[in-house]
Amino acid sequence: MTVHGGIGQSVKRKEDARFVRGQGTYVDDIKLPGMLYLDIVRSPYAHARIRYINSERAMKVPGVLAVITGKDLEAAKLAWMPTLMSDRQMVLPVERVMYQAQEVAAVVAESRYAAADGVAAVDVEYEPLPVVVDPIKALEPDAPILRPDKNEKSNRIWHWETGERQATEKALKECDVVVRENIYIPRIHVASIETCGCVAQFDSTSGKLTMWMTTQAPHAIRTVFALVSGLPEHKIRIISPDIGGGFGGKVPVYPGYVLAVVAALKTGHPVKWIEDRSENIQADSFARDYHITAEIGATKDGKLKALRVKTIADHGYTDAAANPSKFPAGLFNIVTGSYPFEKAFVEVDGVYTNKPPGGIAYRCSFRVTEAAFTIERVIDVLAHKLGMDPAELRMKNFIPPEAFPFKSALGWTYDSGNYGAALRKAMDIIDYEGLRKEQAEKRKRGELMGIGISSFTEIVGAGPSATFDILGLKMFDSCEVRIHPTGKVIARFGTKSQGQGHETTYAQILAEELGISVDDITAEEGDTDTAPYGLGTYASRSTPVAGAAAAVAARKIRDKAKLIAAHLLEVSPDDLEWKDHKFQVKGVPAKAKTMQDIAFAAYTNHPQGMEAGLEATAYYDPPNLTFPFGSYICVVDIDKETGEVKIRRFVAVDDCGTIINPMIVEGQIHGGLTMGLAPALLEEIHYDEHGNIQGGTFMDYLLPTAVETPKWETAKTTTPSPHHPLGAKGVGESATVGAPAAIANAVVDALSHLGVTHIDIPITPWKVWKILNEKGIA
Ligand code: CDP
């Protein structure tokens, strides 16, 4: 018997009732009496000494009330703040600016317009300094040292390695075939519809700071604010209201947030700071920027043996990556992908340059996209070298289903998988064999058609807390469930949806576990005064961790409910079973109590000596991560005259274990695929040699529109996670992780007969046309 809105049902999203009516509450909707507005002066230079900042003209602008500079903050010991990776980051500079668009001063005014006029009237004199844009040049011995404050003699931030260096070297030497490819995954930006912002309000009577803030991790932010500012943590309330897309970009603390707090303290008024679109794209945390060299060794008949990957990671002027602290290169060491390499070795060097800091994930679990792109791209390079079909090479090498739990050469224990089934399903849907025949015929006619596969494996759902922490905060997550006397439920979580539909899917988990209709359950997140402590939503961790916490909390409630049911039915608890979403006397299904019956009794007729009420809290520490996977196949046609790539078909078979809401999962995959197409064909943030951003507006940072987006074809296989209480794995990021390699592989496949082995993304018409022109085709 199903419960209304339980697991596996395509329940319509509860949150959409307000979103489709335009009644969501985003940070910019918060309007408080006496509220002031903050705007930011930003540097035109990528590297310069600040000679002076003169705010006299700005202070004369009608409505301007204050100008805040680095010197003001220095006096309050707030000019610098820690980054998520325990480096240092300027709130405002005192001596030097380190990237173009860096915050230089803040203007507080009575209106947003006056604040902007004030910004234009702040006079700053700069003395330009040598700029280092290229991380490889930054490592050369004569490169200017960008962070003298750290007393380092080089711009290398750290060197990190994992796996077996010597054994991998030896294994590669012994292989019949070794392929090596240089891959650059460029800087990109998440460009969520809502930019970042906050409203900071300080109540001087109670001493309480309330922040409405675009944050994916409200509790962690509260703790960091308390530690940095010295304000008591119970006097800080972070409210993360509706969020218009996060994708990792709303994990870090940006200087604007801190400046709004300082401005609120300084003026005694609430202060709003909302980034404009250009600021968001030019100054917020970036993603990717990995320069990779990957080598695969195999036998001549295509058995994979060894993998070696060397990477230079451009971190900008400070290491502010949003990674778990023990993983400076995130989870890049999932780069062995879906394959049982015998030996593997990965090394990454983090490097300072004159660019904005960050290193956020762009809808992936801490560098999983970089890893998936690398392995899936190089597998195709190998297939090409061996003259083998890329599907056959993958099928021959996949970790077999019976090998799970599988320990990878780089130490991860994959929970479950059936990679061959997913690829076979995608091949059947798209008619792979038929497409290969069509391609051969078209090649004879000189037409360019390509087929690309990506059979990726992700790693999502951090903790376990023994290994995963951010700034020392261990990565678990939480759920608190309270059932009211009439059987209606309020549940609160430590995560924070940014559009993923948690209000619906969490309610579905509880509906299933408690036997209460989804309509009778409210799931709430994002208010640190009410929600239990959690580490937030990013890296597809909500379902694997907070979703599991919901199930565990509900099961704790069932334990107590069983005792109440036994009392009501006048039987021993041992005589009861939870069946068909109620407690039944074993063998006598008519004698039963629903959770609603039990909830009423929990407040009116509970056994003598038992505590009243029906509620539970669970802090769930996952025993392992979950490893969702998928196989994507993309078919492209290339216009020989213009180099334009047209995606003709794209089939995505995903496996995220047990699915809570099929409609929401499909929506996540559609959105994710479009966000995977974006870096594959369109998006890149590039800097010229002076550190000027190229691509700092939507005129030249190209987002996919409906015109570029093909009709996605989706399907699934279901391989539950053995350790998750519901068998669910994360899915929110799968498609963004898996899609770029399928698209790039398809384009390279279309050109492989011309000797092309790799094209760096984004694969623009210009890049393709140049190749065609060199080959005498265009
Ligand atoms: O952490 P985040 O919410 O971004 O990612 P997620 O846990 O992968 O979930 C994305 C959305 O898909 C949520 O609404 C999930 O509850 C839903 N989902 C699902 O219905 N079934 C799954 N197996 C995984 C996610």
- Ligand 1: residue of 665, 666, 717, 721 to mutate (most ligand atoms within 8 A of CB) is 665
Do 191 and 281 contact (CB within 8 A), yes or no? yes
Strands (E), 26-87: 36-42, 48-54, 64-69, 80-82
Q: Which fold has domain 16-22+477-620?
A: Aldehyde Oxidoreductase; domain 4 (3.30.365)
Structure confidence at residue 695 (pLDDT): 84
Look at ligand 1, atom 16, and give the residue with the nearest C-alpha.
Answer: 505
Is the CB of 730 inside a 6 Å radius of any atom of ligand 1? yes
Compute the distance between CA of residue 589 and CA of residue 666 in angstroms, rounded to an integer: 37
16-22+477-620 matches 415-461+626-778 in fold: yes
What residues contact residue 542 under an 8 Å CB cut-off, 6+ apart? 477, 495, 497, 500, 502, 730, 732
Instruction: Please choose from 366, 459, 500, 666 the residue to mutate so as to test ligand 1's pocket, defined by most ligand atoms within 8 A of CB.
Output: 500
With a 6 Å cutoff on the Cβ, whether 240 touches ligand 1 is no
Residue 311 Cβ contacting ligand 1 at under 6 Å? no
Instruction: Judge whether 367 and 538 are in contact, CB under 8 Å.
Output: no
> How many Å lie between the centroid of ligand 1 and the Cα of residue 624?
17
In short, whether 216's Cβ falls inside 6 Å of ligand 1 is no
Question: For residue 729, what are the contacts with CB-CB under 8 A and spacing of at least 6?
Answer: 415, 460, 461, 543, 544, 626, 627, 628, 655, 656, 657, 721
Atom 19 (ligand 1) nearest CA: 660
- Å from CA of 664 to ligand 1 middle: 8
CA distance 105 to 115: 12
Which of 458, 506, 543, when mutated, tests ligand 1's pocket best, judged by the most ligand atoms within 8 Å of its CB? Answer: 543
Question: Domain ranges in the chain?
Answer: 16-22+477-620, 33-362, 415-461+626-778
Q: Is the CB of 365 under 6 A from ligand 1?
A: no
Mention the CATH class of domain 415-461+626-778.
Answer: alpha beta
> Which amino acid, residue 721?
S
- Centre of ligand 1 from the C-alpha of residue 512, in Å: 16
pLDDT value of residue 612: 97
With a 6 Å cutoff on the Cβ, whether 657 touches ligand 1 is yes
Compute the distance between CA of residue 744 and CA of residue 452 in angstroms, rounded to an integer. Answer: 7
Q: Does domain 33-362 have CATH number 3.40.640.10?
A: no
Q: Is the CB of 363 under 6 A from ligand 1?
A: no
Chunked in runs of 10, what are the mean pLDDT values of the chain (778 residues)?
Answer: 95 97 98 98 98 98 98 94 94 97 98 98 98 98 92 92 98 98 97 97 97 98 92 97 97 97 97 96 96 98 98 97 96 98 98 96 96 98 98 98 98 98 98 98 97 98 96 96 98 98 98 98 98 97 98 98 98 98 97 98 97 98 98 98 97 98 98 98 97 92 95 98 98 98 98 97 98 93
Is residue 340 within 8 Å of residue 397, measured between CB atoms? yes
- Rounded to whole angstroms, the Cα distance separating 280 from 273 reads 12
From atom 22 of ligand 1, which residue's Cα is the shortest distance away? 659
Give the per-residue pLDDT at 152: 78
* Closest of 28, 356, 68 to residue 213, by C-alpha: 28
Q: Is the CB of 660 under 6 A from ligand 1?
A: yes
The answer to whether 263 and 36 have CB atoms below 8 angstroms apart is: yes
